A and B are shown apart, each in its own frame.
Chain A
Amino acid sequence: MSGGTTRGGTAIVGVAESDLGKVAEGMTPQDLMAQGIVRALADAGLTLADVDGLFLAASQLRMPTVNMCEYLGIAPRYMDSSFTGGSSFEALAAHAALALEAGACDVAVIAYGSTQRSQRGRFTPQRDLNEYDAPFRPRLPITGYALAASRHMAEFGTRREDLAEIAVAARLWAKKNPAAFDRRDLAVEDVLNAPMISTPLTVRDCCLVTDGGGAVVMVRADRARSLRQKPVYLLGHGEAQQHHAITNMPDLTVTGARASGAQAYAMAGLSARDMDVVQLYDAFTITTLLFLEDLGFCPKGEGGAFVRDGGIAPGGRLPVNTSGGGLSYCHPGMFGLFLMIEATRQLRGTCGDRQVPGAETAIAHGNGGVLAAQATLVLGTEATL
Chain B
Amino acid sequence: MTRIEQSPRAVWEAHARDGRLAYQWSPDAGRAVWQPRVVCPFGGAAPLEWRVSAGRGVIHAITLTHPAKGEPYTVALIDIDEGYRMMSKVEGASGDASEIGRRVQVRFVDGDAEEAPVPVFDLEPLR
The answer, yes or no, to whether B30 is at the interface (CB within 8 Å) is no
Known pairs A154-B97, A247-B35; A135 contacts B77 (CB<8 A): no
The answer, yes or no, to whether B73 is at the interface (CB within 8 Å) is yes
A191 to B96, CA, bound (A): 18
Residue on B nearest A202 in the bound complex, by CB: B66
The answer, yes or no, to whether A198 is at the interface (CB within 8 Å) is yes
The answer, yes or no, to whether A200 is at the interface (CB within 8 Å) is yes
Q: Find out whether the CB atom of A199 lies under 8 angstroms from the CB atom of B63.
A: yes
Q: Find out whether the CB atom of A247 lies under 8 angstroms from the CB atom of B64.
A: no
Q: Could you tell me the dominant secondary structure of chain B's interface residues?
A: mixed
Q: Find out whether the CB atom of A136 lies under 8 angstroms from the CB atom of B95.
A: no
Known pairs A154-B100, A199-B96; A139 contacts B86 (CB<8 A): no
Neighbouring B residues of A188 by C-beta, 8 Å: none
Neighbouring B residues of A147 by C-beta, 8 Å: 61-63, 75-77
The answer, yes or no, to whether A137 is at the interface (CB within 8 Å) is yes
Known pairs A150-B97, A151-B100, A153-B97; A132 contacts B86 (CB<8 A): yes
The answer, yes or no, to whether B103 is at the interface (CB within 8 Å) is no
- The distance from the CB of B8 to the nearest CB of chain A, in whole angstroms, is 10
Neighbouring A residues of B61 by C-beta, 8 Å: 147-148, 150-151, 154, 252
0 or 1 for each of A117-153: is its CB under 8 Å from B? (1 = yes): 0000000000000111101111100110011111101
Q: How many residues of B are counted as interface, with CB atoms below 8 angstroms from the partner's CB atoms?
A: 33
The answer, yes or no, to whether A246 is at the interface (CB within 8 Å) is yes
Q: Find out whether the CB atom of A143 lies under 8 angstroms from the CB atom of B86.
A: no
The answer, yes or no, to whether A385 is at the interface (CB within 8 Å) is no
Q: Find out whether the CB atom of A135 lies under 8 angstroms from the CB atom of B65.
A: no
Known pairs A132-B87, A154-B101, A252-B60; A137 contacts B67 (CB<8 A): yes
The answer, yes or no, to whether B5 is at the interface (CB within 8 Å) is no
A195 to B66, CA, bound (A): 9
Q: Find out whether the CB atom of A130 lies under 8 angstroms from the CB atom of B35.
A: yes
A199 to B96, CA, bound (A): 7
Neighbouring A residues of B75 by C-beta, 8 Å: 136-138, 143, 146-147, 198
Can you pick out 6 interface pairs between chain A and chain B where the beta carbons lie within 8 Å of each other? A130-B35, A154-B98, A196-B72, A198-B65, A245-B35, A245-B87
Besides A138-B75, A147-B75, A150-B61, 16 new A-B residue pairs in contact (Cβ under 8 A), listed by A number? A130-B35, A136-B75, A136-B89, A137-B73, A138-B87, A139-B65, A149-B63, A150-B63, A151-B97, A151-B100, A154-B61, A154-B100, A199-B64, A247-B86, A248-B35, A252-B77
Q: Please list the residues of chain B having a beta carbon within 8 angstroms of any beta carbon in chain A.
A: 9, 12, 34-36, 60-67, 72-73, 75-77, 85-89, 95-98, 100-101, 111-112, 115, 118
Q: Please list the residues of chain A having a beta carbon within 8 angstroms of any beta carbon in chain B.
A: 130-133, 135-139, 142-143, 146-151, 153-154, 195-200, 245-248, 252
